[in-house]
Amino acid sequence: MKILKFGGTSVANADNIKRVLTIIAEKAKNEKLVVVVSALSKVTDLLQLASQKAASNDESFKEIVAEIEKKHLDTLKELIPVSEQSSLLSHLKRIINHLETLLDGCFLLGELSPRTADTILGFGELLSSYIIAEALKQNLKNSGYADSRELIKTNANFGKAVVNFEISNQLIADYFASNESQVVVLPGFIASTTDGIHTTLGRGGSDYTAAIVAAALNAKELEIWTDVNGMFTANPKIVKQAQPIATISYQEAMELSHFGAKVLYPPTIQPVLRKNIPILIKNTFEPEAVGTYISNDVVSQTNPAKGISHIDNIALLTLEGPGMVGVSGSSKRLFEVLSQENINVIFITQASSEHSICIGILNSDAEIAEIAINKAFEIEIAQNKIEPCIVENNLCIIALVGENMKNHQGLSGRMFSTLGKNNVNIRAIAQGASERNISAVINERDVKKALNTLHENFFEENTKQLNLFVMGVGNVGKKFIEQIHQQKKFLKENLKINLRVIALSNSRKMHFDEDGISLKDWQTVLNNGETANQELFIAKVKELNLRNSIFVDITANESVSKTYEHYLKQSVGVVTCNKIACSSAYDNYKHLKNLSRQYNAPFLFETNVGAGLPIIDTVKNLIASGDKVNKIQAVLSGSLNFIFNNFDENHSFQDVVKEAGVQGFTEPDPKIDLSGIDVARKILILIRESGYQMDIEAIANESFMPAECLATTSNEAFFASLQKHAAHFDALYNEAKNKESRLKYVAQFENGKASVGLQFIPKDHPFYNLEGKDNIVLFYTDCYVDQPLLIKGAGAGAAVTASGIFADVIRIGNV
């Protein structure tokens, strides 16, 4: 014999019930079945709401009853031929009339007793089981119906009655010993005392009903039919990469269900565990899916963890004080108080010093618990031996579960390190002696990030998902997005990095998509986005609270650079080609670096100097190895190098500067390049990364530009000024030619002093043959004394800058 239980979604409506009937008919061909059914989806909630309204003298409870009646009558009419409906509809209406009478009583008395509440809540299963039993008889004549209240006996603990197994097992065994039906339908959830008073087994109790019957009959198997393909490695509604678990032990299933895996009601396992009856969780809507098989047969696997689960709406209560140290009975008194108030303790942890004890309970019980605890310990509180109970609300418990976890070292460290890297603050930790689960209390707002981060680490073959928030989609930004689109598949397959662009913004529009923006038509999506707003952008990044988040700044905007600290404080990494932040006041530069370390948020800016060249990374490696940078000489502006390499007798200075802008080598405002401020910022960043303290005011800027040119306020005026002062630039060119030299804009640092300016470079200098838009840097260090460490390559252009930004993002992914 098999026991089949169908949940509320499986019997939500006539169409779903038809699926259920097909499954039952197919299985009944080979063996006898007991079918336990829940109430139609949402009906129990409606019954609870109706009873509350009635007890509050709110006549709208009658509208809810009418809704319940219509739902069931409509379902029956769809399942039963018209010729046979009359008597069945009458029976349903009698049940509804009984329900309405009970609610009328609550309305007149203005109260709802636990006993009455249990009776009312049981109507959902009574109605659904009657309809399903009658529908089953249409095609399977040898089927019947039994009332669970006559078979399962409990105490009078209304709301969550305790089963008397000795009596119930005998009643169930006797009933089915004499019943010859091929299929018997039972209502789940409901039971009664030995005096016949109606009780319930707790919300989700239909699973428990099925398990009780399975154990009493020594069934071959218990099948739980629901709307998912079994138990998952995490809640698939929160973790989209969650995978079904094919096999799992009773203990693992119990732990996962206790910590919120709603596919299975926690008490269900106990009755069948004693009899070693396997549980199979199946999907009513995909009956061919394998499902989850729960048994004592442990299947060996490499992953020590089996799943991650969580419980929402938790409050953490802390009782602490010197009056608890060495005093026996403190814990006993605390738990007695909670027991008397009928408050379930979900989580317990106690300091080894005995100075404090923490417990996790439901938010809804927190206020009652706080009052009761403070009253029980009022003498110690008055004597300042114990502090008043501390209550923290809006928390969540997450649990990593696995039978094999006890045989693996370092799992706790791996779990908490993973959470810490994503700024998930842990309020309390507990691990049972069985080492079957590790539990932690965290803020409720972090639960999605925590579950996804842990799942990624433990169940996704080390694939790391990076969530990018990109600001700036000009020339460089477009190339960056193109590169992501082009390399996305390669990165996932070869580097196990899954890149998703969650947000895009320019100066006018911004767009967010938590599931990732399609990069095929991102420009259209962005153009249809909402009005750009930096404060709102920050707020949305914070609200989404996604794991491995990276803010990518591809602007030259000062106001954007001032937002970095907001991201870093949320453990959101920052990748930027914007030089303003790292060349701002030294205190701000150090502040950002410190925030990066404090919040474990990467702050990478390789493209600040040399576009895609590994210049900053090289400096970091030199310093980390113990070397010391003593002198730097560099051509750091690909734009200026392009300009002076192409400026000659045949090409005016004005025309070359324009061409540099067209090719994307200069900033939108070319004065930023030509004034030398851009190069000054770059050498300043190299000086700081070399371990020296300096501000930009200390860098001598020997400008080659006429003051009138730099004073212009528009590009049009600027180019007109360049044409006006053409003779000045021609003179510089001719002087270099006469000296058999080339013009190069050089940055240098030595003996604590730095400067930037135009120089005449002779033929024997390494800078002389620097072509196109290339950069070159010479580092003289304690290790590189006579022959400097030289880095050379393309230092400007949208593609190489985008590649540098991309490389920084990948660096974060490889950490």
Q: Which residues are catalytic?
A: 682
Are the beta carbons of 603 and 573 closer than 8 angstroms? Answer: yes
Instruction: State whether residue 225 is helix, strand or coil.
Output: strand
Are the beta carbons of 550 and 469 closer than 8 angstroms? Answer: yes
Buried b (16+ CB within 10 A) or exposed e, 473-512: bebbbbbbbebbeebbeebeeeebbbbbbbbbbbeebbbb
What spatial distance separates the first Cα and last Cα of the chain, rounded to whole Å? 54
Tell me the C-alpha distance between 650 and 721, whole Å.
20
Rg (CA), the chain: 36
Cα distances from 745 to residues 696, 705, 773, in angstroms, run 17, 12, 12
Instruction: State whether residue 293 is helix, strand or coil.
Output: strand
3-state SS record for 22-72: HHHHHHCCCCCEEEEECCCCCHHHHHHHHHHHHHCCCCCHHHHHHHHHHHH
If we measure between CA atoms, which residue out of 145, 148, 166 comes closest to residue 216? 166
Are the beta carbons of 361 and 346 closer than 8 angstroms? Answer: yes
Q: In this structure, which amino acid lies at residue 424?
A: V
3-state SS record for 467-482: EEEEECCCHHHHHHHH
Tell me the C-alpha distance between 662 and 648, whole Å.
19
Buried b (16+ CB within 10 A) or exposed e, 580-590: bbbbbebebbe
Chain CA centroid to CA 84, Å = 52
